[in-house]
Amino acid sequence: MIEDKIVKFLSEISGYVWGLPLIILLLGTGIYLTVILRVIQFRALIPSLYIALIKRKEATETEGDISHFQALMTALSATVGVGNIAGVAAAIAVGGPGALFWMWITGLFGMATKYSEAVLAVKYREVDKFNTMSGGPMYYISKGLGLRWLGILFAVFASIAAFGIGNMVQSNSVANGLETAFGISPWVTGLILCIATGLVIVGGIKSIARATSAIVPFMIVLYLIGSTFVLIEYWQKIPEAFKLIFYHAFTPTAAAGGFIGVALVQTIKIGVARGIFSNESGLGSSPIVAAAAKTRNPVAQGLVSMTQTFIDTIIVCTLTGLVIISTGAWMSGETGAALSAVAFEKGVPGHRHIGGEILAISLAFFAYSTLLGWSYYGEKSIEYIFKERAVKPYRVVFTLVIFVGAVVELDLVWTFADIMNGLMAFPNLIGLLGLSKVVVEETKKYLNLEISGR
């Protein structure tokens, strides 16, 4: 069939886009920023968590649309999603337990990247005709580097990705998951998602931020409880799980059970790739919402934003990985969301389906929140290209496409969305590297003013 040929062709392109050069560039940028920022992700992690989760509010006269906490929750809504369940499982299924270690490495260096993205997003943001903040890679590339054409290119990639990875892929995943677990028809799921999303995004970023601030903490806690329940049942296996993770991070994984074995280079590659795909550090999506935060200083939001990668990769992805490895499900021969389902079902002895149902509910919340976050990313990208007149039509189209994604097969969309998501990184990384000195200068200024008390 012609569709199969197109999917195969796009898969080859996706392999090139997400190949070794991009992975090295993304990880290398994180390492470079970590060095020039003097490991800010480690020395400022506790203050960052305090600002994001405890302090929360800036002064009322501060410019911006939403609070630090709301900006963080909206960004988390877009990253804590299918990748945390299916992505981690796919990494372990292909690369073995050691892949989780390389996801951690990606997350730790990615925190410096995420910090830098947010600093630049706030510094170069501007007020649009709706009197709301607009910012992100397209703005700091255009205003900071003077390369408007490159900013437009990023916005094009991001707006297309919003309909793929941020829309149809999500509604399709949750529709399939709920049909498998509860027998709910995909068109029912699609209709509910369509209405629920439309009612929120019609109110813009403030409405989206209120919704994500309520949903994201709940869904993460729900997933934390479900994962912890499984890990308590398999607590004796947890030390062995960590041993497997660290051992196979540097040693090829031999065939075991349904696992066919893998070379070390494949473990590293899949771990880094899935880690980047999960937390999106360097791809340029989350700085779009970081620009809307109420803050006096770009660095304050940068500190908050880098906790997003910590929560996404170091906490949520670790929980998924430990459940899969501790239960022994990684040797089942399954992959993706099916592997996570096997792990959760094994974790609830005597009630086989409850684990899968918990996973399906978590997936539903994860996917819905991702729809909300990516709707804003796409909106601001479309606004940058076509100006404010395109915002309302975009919201209508985005909402309707959710239903389409829920009821059709999406092999073609999955692959094309993967390509667009990867292409976003190239202009964004040019902006990050070209403006890295600006990030350092802003950081020093903040440290002098806020930490030393001057």
1: confidence class by pLDDT, cuts 50, 70, 90: low
Binning pLDDT at 50, 70 and 90, where does residue 257 land? confident
Helices (H), 350-435: 352-386, 391-407, 411-423, 425-434
Average pLDDT of the segment spanning 395-413: 86
Nearest residue to 204 (alpha-carbon basis) of 125, 154, 133, 121: 133
Domains in the chain: ranges and CATH? 10-451 (1.20.1740)
Place of tokens 């202009």: 427
Are 440 and 37 within 8 A, CB to CB?
yes
pLDDT in tens, 144-168: 999 999 999 999 999 999 998 889 8
- Please give the structure tokens belonging to residue 287: 């700085």
In the chain, the percentage of residues whose pLDDT exceeds 90 is 54
pLDDT digits (tens, 9 = 90+) for 233-244: 899 999 999 999
Q: Is the pTM of this model over 0.95?
A: no
Lowest mean pLDDT among 26-40, 50-64, 202-216, 247-261: 50-64
Q: pLDDT at residue 179 above 90?
A: no
Distance, in Å, from the CA atom of 208 to the CA atom of 70, rounded to the nearest integer, reads 9
**What 3-state class would DSSP assign to 109?**
helix
Residues in the chain, how many? Answer: 454
The pLDDT of residue 419 is 85
| Predicted pLDDT of residue 141 | 97
How would you class 217 by CB atoms within 10 Å of its CB: exposed for 0-12, middle for 13-18, buried for 19 or more? middle
* pLDDT recorded at residue 453: 47
How far the first Cα of the chain sits from its last, in Å, is: 68
> Residue 83: which residues within 8 A CB-CB, separation 6 or more?
274, 277, 278
What token pair was written down for 74?
A: 């909206």
Identity at 306, one-letter amino acid code: M
Question: What's the Rg (C-alpha) of the chain?
Answer: 21
Specify the pLDDT at position 452: 47
* Mean of pLDDT over the chain: 88
* Higher-pLDDT residue of 2, 421: 421
Helix, strand or coil, per DSSP, at residue 37: coil
**229 has pLDDT over 80:** yes
